[in-house]
Amino acid sequence: MARASLQIMRDTVHALLMRELKTRFGSSKLGYFWAIAEPVAQASILAIIMTIIGKSSLAGVPVALFLISGVMPFKAFSKTVTQLSNGISSNTALFAYRQVSPIDPILTRVIIELVTFFIVYIILLSVMAWLGLDVWPQDLLALIAASLLLVSLGVGIALC
């Protein structure tokens, strides 16, 4: 019995997803930790600089929250652009298999970036809420839509 095209694509993307996760994050937990530590470190350095300058809040928002809410979308955008730009060239050898189409590595990397972004963002917001900051957005749907549009812009730029 022949498999449908969507089944083949689903299986191919799943296999590429497992391969990319193992390649990017490694077999140790340190790779997953780095996904959280990188934006936190960048925001922390900027927060320290802002504190040295004398800014404790920007427009009534604590500096840490302001920076995390700006650094996280920027990191998601920049990682999407860099990962997708290298997506096809790093998987060229896999195109010898007829099941693997050029869209599969791109779709795989978009899934990884989106899931990583949302997980790290939720973790950071939860930690900041635990520390007593009022971090939950007033319009969650608008935040999700803006994040998806930002990643879509990154995909568009990467594919140019």
Q: Quick one: pLDDT at residue 14?
A: 92
Q: What are 70-103's pLDDT values in tens digits?
A: 878 888 888 889 888 888 788 888 888 888 888 8
pLDDT at 17: 92
Q: What's the pLDDT score for residue 1?
A: 52
What domain range is 116 assigned to?
A: 5-159
Please report the beta strands in 44-126, taking only residues with DSSP state E, as ranges in sequence order: 57-58, 61-62
Beta bridge partners of 62: 57
What pLDDT does residue 28 have?
A: 74
Q: Cα–Cα distance between 32 and 121 in angstroms, integer?
A: 13
pLDDT, residue 157, reads: 92
Q: To the nearest whole number, what is the mean pLDDT of the chain?
A: 83
Q: What is the pLDDT of residue 147?
A: 85
Q: What is the pTM of this model?
A: 0.80
Our count of domains for the chain comes to 1
* Residue 58: strand pairing partners: 61
Low-confidence stretches of the chain (pLDDT beneath 70): 1-2
State the pLDDT at residue 2: 62
- Element housing 93 (H / E): none
In contact, 63 and 133? CB cutoff 8 Å: no
